[in-house]
Every structure is written in structure tokens, then in C-alpha cells.
């Protein structure tokens, strides 16, 4: 670490002159620039850092190099986040908790004479089941009586998507994929319709948007914004967000296992087989693709370091997140990801925020009762699917569902069956090109088969 | 007074141009909200004071 030669600066780390994030030998580090030295020392000496660490609000870190090196004042090594996620992959409650955390930190910072200068949703990650603030250089000394510098950013990154989700449509969070610096207030204002005049949106969205389009001189010279005013704004934002709620629809997938499974016997048999397979492979990370409300994620979490539960249904992820919060489960991360269209790379040069697939760890994939949706619902050839799994996992637990299955028949009800070649033999032939089949077990009370496969490439 | 000035700006000032810093509007919004919230705070105090008086 003495000479920073072989490092790779992360493409997401170029905006802040206070420092940058880099990767070396698989570890993540953050530099503090000489320019930010005084602010960083103040962050520590004021007691703010200790307070945030004590309350588990900020990522713990160690200072591994405090010898000034060119423009670098010191290097920090934060605790590793196993799976990086982005706000457009979160459900409503995840974004809401991230927003409330940001305000809580801004208020504590103010108590210690400092100000939160960035309120980006990308500064929050999920760590041990809870949101945590990861940008260690986001604090600056509060010097004058001016309003919150990150207010607009907060409204675009948090308040806008939360209001749209609560009042219009939950899937509008995906607008964050198109707008890397948060949903523009003009768009939120338009989409909210008459709701923009309610007490939650009128000032922070509608009025701010209107005033932002005016040519006003010397407004920033206003020095009459007191600390009390600052707290009033933060408290008001906190109350608005804390009171936002969404309804969970009672259809689709969110009640799948409660109402729509083949039978209890089928479920019991599948649970036993999954447990047996996991005991055999002892995985570190499991990606539960098509996790639904996470019944198998919860079971798998007892056998590995962390489960990343992925489903395209935002209600399923919402229910799972609420459940892990309620039961204080620390090693499941639920994310809204559609495997037929996973999050792309966005931002500067299309690498600033990398795609979901790029952020996956090649370990174990659990694909239970999901491939028939990809094959039939998306016309995805089986070879594409096998190649995909080959690229993204070492171990694969996959459920094969034959064409005579009642659920497959349901999917084929109104369409031509062009999938007649999808038989057990064909499935095994295709997957055997890339995987070794370790186990093959029939699931009770069904014609479905559960496979445990090992990637032939994994030792290369 | 601050509220009146901001509303005057809102309804009289020049229209949008691409060279306007939106941050300025955000500053003004915060001043406006803080003013409105402090008025509400004082009104609440007065209401509580009157309630207390009548209780006695």
C-alpha cells in the first residue's frame, strides 16, 4: 500500500475532489485528498465519526496509511460490502429506509457543527440487513447560515421516487436508471398530477421546481437561514417520508407459495432436497433467482455467508425486505432484478454504475421454479440459459419443470406450444455441455426434478 | 416578509433559461419552507397557550 501503483480507480468515483475509491488485489480502499484533510480531521475530532459508528449508521473503516503521498493525505480501508446494489434495484421500504438514514445522518452532523454535502442514494448500501452510509468524505464544516447544499439532490434521489411510488406506481423507481442524479423535479411534478399540490409534494417538489426555473440573483447571499431552520427542513422531510406508505397487491407472485404451490408434500420434499444439496456444496454466496417472497432464501441463508434474493416482482421483494427487517435477518439482501432484463450499466461512458451482472459474484445460483418462465414467457432458448449459468455460477441448483406440469400447461394455455423439444433428456444434454450433473432427484408429488450441477470451468 | 418576496419572484420573474442555476431556486424553497414551518410553530404555541388559559 505504500506506493499506489497497481490500483484501479472505480469508474463511479470521479465526482468528489475530496478523494477517490480504488480496488487493489480485490480489496476496496478510499483515498482522502490533501484538499479535504482539514475537513476529514474535523470529521474525526468533532466526535461525529464516533457517534455515527456507534449508532451503526456509517461503514466502519480503518486508516491504513496516513503518510501524505502526493495529493493524497491518507488511505482508508472500509469494511467490505458483499453485494453492491443500486437504488433502482430496491423496493419502496429499502429506498425509504435509505432516505430516513440520510436525514438522520444530516441531523447528527449538524449537531456536531458539520453538514452532509451529498445526499446521493448511491451513498447508501445494504450491509448486514440494514442500510448504511458508505461515503466517508461527505461531511464538511458548517460555516455560514445557508440552507442545505444537498437539499435538491435529496429531493431528486429520494423524495421524488418515493412520492411517485406511494401515489402513482411502484415501478416508477426504475426512472432512476434513466436519471443518474435522481428523478428531475419537473418530471415528478408532472407525473404526480394533482397530488403535487398536497402537503407532501407542494413545497419540496412543485414549488422547488417552479423556483428553480427562475432567474434569481443573490439568493445564495441570504444569511438568515438559522440552524433551527435547517432542522425544521430536515424534520419536515423526515416526517413526510416516514408517513409514506404503499399498498401491496394481493395477486401475482406475492402469495405464490401460500396459495399456488402444487402441494405441501411437494414443498416439503423440495426444501429437504435443497438443504441436502447446500450441505454438500457449502456455498459462500447464493443468488436466489426468482426468489418470490424468499422461502428458499431464508432456508439457504442458514448454509452460506449471504443470500442475494432476486425477483422482478417489486411486491415480493417488498414483503421479503419487511420480513428480514422484522426478524433481524442479517444475511439476506432482497433486490428487484428481472433476469430477462437485468439492470444495465449507466452513467459516464456507460461504466459509472455497472450492470447487475457485472456486480454478481461467481458462486452459487438457486434457480427454483423459474426457468419455465424464462423459456416460455421470454422465448429464451435453453442453450442461452445454460450459457448464462455457466458464466455466472460455479454451482447450480436448478429445478427442471417438464411440459406436462400443470403450471407449464397454464402458461401454454393461450399460445402455440413451440417448446416440444424441452424434455428432461434435452435439458440434461444442453446443460451437460457446461456442467457436471452431481445430483438428480425427483421432487415428491410432481413430475419436477431438482438438479445439483457443478460448472466444468470452475477450476480454470 | 420573506414569503411575500419569494411569491413575487415566483409569479413575476423571468422565464426559464438553460443558464440558470437550479440550486438558487432550491435555496429559496428552503427559506420559504423554513419560514412557513416557523409560522406554523408559533401558531401552534399560541393555540396551546390559549388552550391552557381556558383550562385554568
- A154-172 residue pLDDT tens: 999 999 999 999 999 999 9
Q: How many CB atoms lie within 10 A of CB A267?
A: 18
Q: Could you tell me which of A257, A266, A260, A270 has the C-alpha nearest to residue A446? A: A266
Per-residue pLDDT, A37:
92
Q: What is the mean pLDDT of chain A?
A: 91
What's the pLDDT band for A419 if we cut at 50, 70, 90? confident
Q: Could you tell me which of A268, A270, A306 has the C-alpha nearest to residue A287? A: A306
Phi, psi values for residue A291, rounded to 5°: -70, -20
Closest-CA distance of chain A to residue B56, Å? 31
| A101 contacts A133 by C-beta, under 8 angstroms | yes
Residue predicted with more confidence, A1 or A265: A265
Task: Provide the sign of the torsion angle of the four alpha carbons A392, A398, A402, A403, taken in this order.
Answer: negative
| Among chain B residues, CA nearest to A199 | B33
Per-residue pLDDT, B23:
73
- Is pLDDT above 80 for A243? yes
Put simply, whether A144 touches B (Cβ < 8 Å) is no
Alpha-carbon span A460 to A454, nearest angstrom: 13
Each residue of B1-48: pLDDT tens digit? 666 666 666 665 555 555 556 677 888 889 888 888 888 888 888 888
| Among chain B residues, CA nearest to A146 | B27
**What distance, in Å, lies between the first and last C-alpha atoms of chain B?**
35
Alpha-carbon span A263 to A444, nearest angstrom: 9
| From B15, B27, B36, residue closest to A219, measured CB to CB | B27
Cα A210–chain centre separation: 32
| A370 contacts A289 by C-beta, under 8 angstroms | yes
* Matching residue, cell 425486505: A321
What angle do helix axes A314-326 and A92-111 make, rounded to 10 degrees? 50
Using the beta-carbon criterion (under 8 Å), do B27 and A146 form an inter-chain contact?
yes
Per-residue pLDDT, A295:
94
Using the beta-carbon criterion (under 8 Å), do A233 and B33 form an inter-chain contact?
yes
Each residue of A115-135: pLDDT tens digit? 999 999 999 999 999 999 999
Percentage of residues of chain A with pLDDT beyond 90: 74
Each residue of A297-320: pLDDT tens digit? 999 999 999 999 999 999 999 999
Q: Could you tell me which of A450, A454, A456 has the C-alpha nearest to residue A275? A: A450
Each residue of A174-196: pLDDT tens digit? 999 999 999 999 999 999 999 88
Per-residue pLDDT, B13:
55
Per-residue pLDDT, A146:
87
| From A211, A220, A229, residue closest to B34, measured CB to CB | A229
What's the pLDDT band for A249 if we cut at 50, 70, 90? confident
Per-residue pLDDT, B9:
62
Per-residue pLDDT, A358:
95
What's the pLDDT band for A460 if we cut at 50, 70, 90? very low
Each residue of A395-408: pLDDT tens digit? 999 999 988 888 88
Cell, residue A257? 407459495
Q: Could you tell me which of A214, A170, A160 has the C-alpha nearest to residue A192? A: A160
| From B20, B31, B41, residue closest to A215, measured CB to CB | B20
Each residue of A10-38: pLDDT tens digit? 888 888 888 999 988 888 999 999 999 99
Amino acid at each position: 500500500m505504500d506506493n499506489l501503483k497497481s490500483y484501479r480507480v472505480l469508474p463511479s468515483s470521479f465526482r468528489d475532489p475530496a478523494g477517490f475509491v480504488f480496488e487493489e488485489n480485490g480489496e476496496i480502499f478510499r483515498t482522502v485528498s490533501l484538499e479535504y484533510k482539514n475537513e476529514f480531521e474535523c470529521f474525526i475530532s468533532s466526535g461525529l465519526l464516533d457517534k455515527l459508528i456507534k449508532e451503526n449508521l456509517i461503514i466502519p473503516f480503518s486508516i491504513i496509511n496516513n503518510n501524505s503521498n502526493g495529493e493524497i493525505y491518507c488511505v482508508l480501508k472500509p469494511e467490505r460490502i458483499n453485494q453492491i446494489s443500486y437504488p433502482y434495484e430496491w423496493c419502496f421500504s429499502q429506498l425509504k429506509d435509505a432516505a430516513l438514514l440520510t436525514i438522520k445522518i444530516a441531523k447528527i452532523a449538524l449537531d456536531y457543527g458539520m453538514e452532509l454535502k451529498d445526499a446521493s442514494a448511491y451513498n447508501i448500501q445494504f450491509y448486514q440487513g440494514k442500510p448504511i452510509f458508505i461515503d466517508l468524505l461527505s461531511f464538511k464544516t458548517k460555516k455560514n447560515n445557508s440552507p442545505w447544499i444537498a437539499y435538491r439532490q435529496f429531493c431528486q434521489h429520494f423524495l421524488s421516487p418515493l412520492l411517485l411510488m406511494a401515489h402513482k406506481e411502484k415501478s416508477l423507481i426504475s426512472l432512476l436508471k434513466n436519471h443518474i442524479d435522481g428523478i428531475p423535479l419537473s418530471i415528478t411534478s408532472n407525473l404526480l398530477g394533482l397530488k403535487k399540490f398536497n402537503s407532501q409534494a407542494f413545497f419540496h417538489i412543485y414549488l422547488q421546481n417552479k423556483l428553480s426555473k427562475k432567474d434569481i440573483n443573490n439568493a445564495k447571499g441570504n444569511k438568515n437561514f438559522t440552524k433551527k431552520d435547517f432542522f425544521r427542513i430536515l424534520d419536515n422531510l423526515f416526517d413526510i417520508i416516514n408517513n409514506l406508505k404503499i399498498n401491496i397487491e394481493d395477486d401475482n407472485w406475492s402469495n405464490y407459495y401460500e396459495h399456488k404451490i402444487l402441494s405441501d408434500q411437494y414443498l416439503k420434499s423440495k426444501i429437504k432436497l435443497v438443504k441436502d444439496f447446500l450441505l454438500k456444496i457449502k456455498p459462500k454466496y447464493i443468488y436466489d433467482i426468482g426468489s418470490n417472497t424468499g422461502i428458499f432464501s431464508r432456508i439457504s441463508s442458514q448454509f452460506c455467508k449471504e443470500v442475494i434474493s432476486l425477483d422482478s416482482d417489486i411486491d415480493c421483494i417488498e414483503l421479503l425486505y419487511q420480513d428480514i427487517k422484522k426478524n433481524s435477518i442479517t444475511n439476506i439482501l432482497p433486490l428487484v432484478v428481472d433476469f430477462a432484463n437485468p439492470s444495465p450499466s449507466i452513467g459516464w461512458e456507460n461504466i459509472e454504475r455497472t450492470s447487475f451482472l457485472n456486480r454478481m459474484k461467481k458462486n452459487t445460483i438457486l434457480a427454483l421454479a423459474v426457468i419455465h418462465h424464462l423459456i416460455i414467457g421470454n422465448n429464451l432458448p435453453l442453450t442461452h440459459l445454460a450459457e448464462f449459468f455457466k458464466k455466472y455460477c460455479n454451482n447450480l441448483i436448478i429445478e427442471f419443470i417438464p411440459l406436462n406440469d400443470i403450471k407449464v400447461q397454464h402458461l401454454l394455455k393461450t399460445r402455440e406450444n413451440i417448446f416440444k423439444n424441452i424434455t428432461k433428456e434435452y435439458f440434461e444434454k444442453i446443460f451437460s455441455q457446461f456442467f457436471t450433473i452431481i445430483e438428480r432427484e425427483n421432487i415428491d408429488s410432481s413430475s419436477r426434478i431438482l438438479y445439483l450441477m457443478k460448472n466444468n470451468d470452475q477450476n480454470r | 416578509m420573506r414569503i411575500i418576496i419569494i411569491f413575487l419572484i415566483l409569479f413575476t420573474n423571468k422565464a426559464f433559461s438553460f443558464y440558470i442555476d437550479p440550486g438558487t431556486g432550491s435555496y429559496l424553497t428552503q427559506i420559504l419552507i423554513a419560514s412557513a414551518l416557523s409560522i406554523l410553530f408559533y401558531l401552534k404555541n399560541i393555540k396551546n397557550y390559549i388552550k391552557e388559559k381556558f383550562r385554568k
